[in-house]
Amino acid sequence: MHLDHRPFPKDKKVMLMHTCLCDAFFDDVAKATVEVLEYLGCDIEWPENQTCCGQPAFNSGDWASSRQVVRHAVKVFEGQKPVVIPSGSCAAMMFHGALLQFEKENDYDKVEALANRSWELSDYIFNALNIKKWPGKLNAKIAFHRSCHSRGTPSGQASQSLLESIEGIKVAAFGEEEQCCGFGGTFSVTFPFVSSQMGHQKLDMIEKSHPDFLVSGDMGCLLHLGGIIDKDKIKLPIRHISQVLRDSLKNGGLL
């Protein structure tokens, strides 16, 4: 599927896929996402019976199990509304990975329909709603980590453009910006030593730019890097982009 061919929503009625990561680790990201979307005038539907995008089983090669999860998602998120997802990897799973594993399955058309309605949060704000400048202000120097899953999609550039448009924010450049953080989903479990070393290398590069905090649109990366930061007692707070967008509104007296 070519992402630039997705039908653009005609209104601001959306469904929110908050992802397992919000449910288990980043509850404030779900809250910030809701606050940001409501500020933009979105009418949000949150299906309580949602579970997962199927990516863990997909990455492990257990496509049969992953297909079961995706089929459940298709039922839960049925309809015509855009599905907004505050995580680059989960969004990529819905509009790319899910399609790969259903190419020879009878349910391909239903999965494709959901893929065509799936939007990562920044992509939805920047490209679907056409908001090119974010209001509010936040005086901070940040390092933006563009996750591997956002490459080849509009999400990474949308996130960076929104961050750069916020009054008071300076996005710092750092070495090897496109390098993977080492998480890779189940890769970090299968190859923990390699994964950890990649994470340390990434953080070493980021720290040299002396940011106030690290920002990403992918909670998997933040979970991995945040774990290393906590273990090594590195003084580098982490933020999801939804939290930065929300906090800049609050700081600017708009929320």
Shared-domain flag, residues 87 and 45: yes
- Give the pair of three-digit tokens for residue 64: 């049969």
244, 159: one domain:
yes
Instruction: Check residue 72 and give its pLDDT.
Output: 97
In whole angstroms, what is the distance from residue 216 CA to residue 244 CA?
10
Task: Report the residue count for the chain.
Answer: 255
The model carries a pTM of 0.94
**pLDDT tens digits along 20-71:** 999 999 999 999 999 999 999 999 999 999 999 999 999 889 999 999 999 9
Distance of CA 48 to the CA centre of its chain: 20
Instruction: Specify the residue for token string 């505050």.
Output: 86
How many domains are contained in the chain? 2
Across the range 112-128, mean pLDDT stands at 95
Residues 162, 115 share a domain? no
pLDDT class for 238, splitting at 50, 70, 90?
Answer: very high
CATH at 46 = 3.40.50
Q: Which domain holds residue 153?
A: 137-251
Amino acid sitting at position 97: G
| Confidence band of 203 (pLDDT split at 50, 70, 90) | very high
**The domain spanning residue 210 has which CATH number?**
3.40.50.1860
Q: Do residues 154 and 79 share a domain?
A: no
pLDDT digits (tens, 9 = 90+) for 155-178: 999 999 999 999 999 999 999 998
- The Cα 95–Cα 114 span in angstroms is 8
The two tokens of residue 14 are 């959306």
